[in-house]
């Protein structure tokens, strides 16, 4: 709760003016620090989301290349095994 003080300012008498206590000032400063920390965390989360999106794209490319390579390896194995069996490609799928 604010403390009540009476003092003179510039020739005018000010009474019953609410002046924040040290605890209230500390609470206000703490609130400002919390808001700054919240803003910093939001920025960090934004960067983190961008990194995750980038990694998803990289993984998609890696999986796509892997599927193509595995398909080519499978075709090559099928051709090699067909040659060993007499050249019939009908058995490979």
Whether 92 is covered by a domain: the verdict is no
| Residue 90 domain flag | no
Q: Which residue has the higher pLDDT, 21 or 88?
A: 21
Largest CA distance in the chain: 113
Report the predicted TM-score, pTM, of the whole model to 2 decimal places: 0.50
Residue 93 lies in a domain: no
Residue numbers of the domain that contains 12:
3-85
Count up the domains in the chain and report the number.
Answer: 1
Q: What is the pLDDT of residues 28-64, one digit of tens each?
A: 999 999 999 999 999 999 999 999 999 999 999 999 9
CB neighbourhood size of 83 (10 A):
11
Which has the minimum average pLDDT: 23-27, 57-61, 72-76?
Answer: 72-76
Confidence of residue 89 (pLDDT cuts 50, 70, 90): low
DSSP per-residue letters across 26-50: HHHHHHHHHHHHHHHHHHHHHHHHH
19 forms beta bridges with: 3
71 within some domain: yes
Predicted local distance difference test score (pLDDT) of residue 62: 94
Residue 91 lies in a domain: no
Structural domain contains residue 14 = yes
Q: For residue 79, tell me if it sits in a domain.
A: yes
């Amino acid at each position: 709760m604010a403390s009540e003080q009476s003092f003179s300012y510039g020739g005018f008498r000010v009474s019953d003016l609410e002046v924040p206590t040290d605890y209230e000032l500390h609470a206000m400063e703490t609130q400002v620090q919390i808001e700054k920390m919240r803003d910093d965390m939001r920025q960090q989360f934004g960067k983190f989301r961008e990194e995750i999106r980038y990694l998803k794209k990289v993984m998609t490319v890696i999986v796509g290349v892997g599927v193509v390579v595995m398909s080519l390896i499978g075709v090559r194995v099928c051709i090699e095994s067909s040659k060993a069996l007499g050249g019939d490609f009908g058995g490979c799928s």
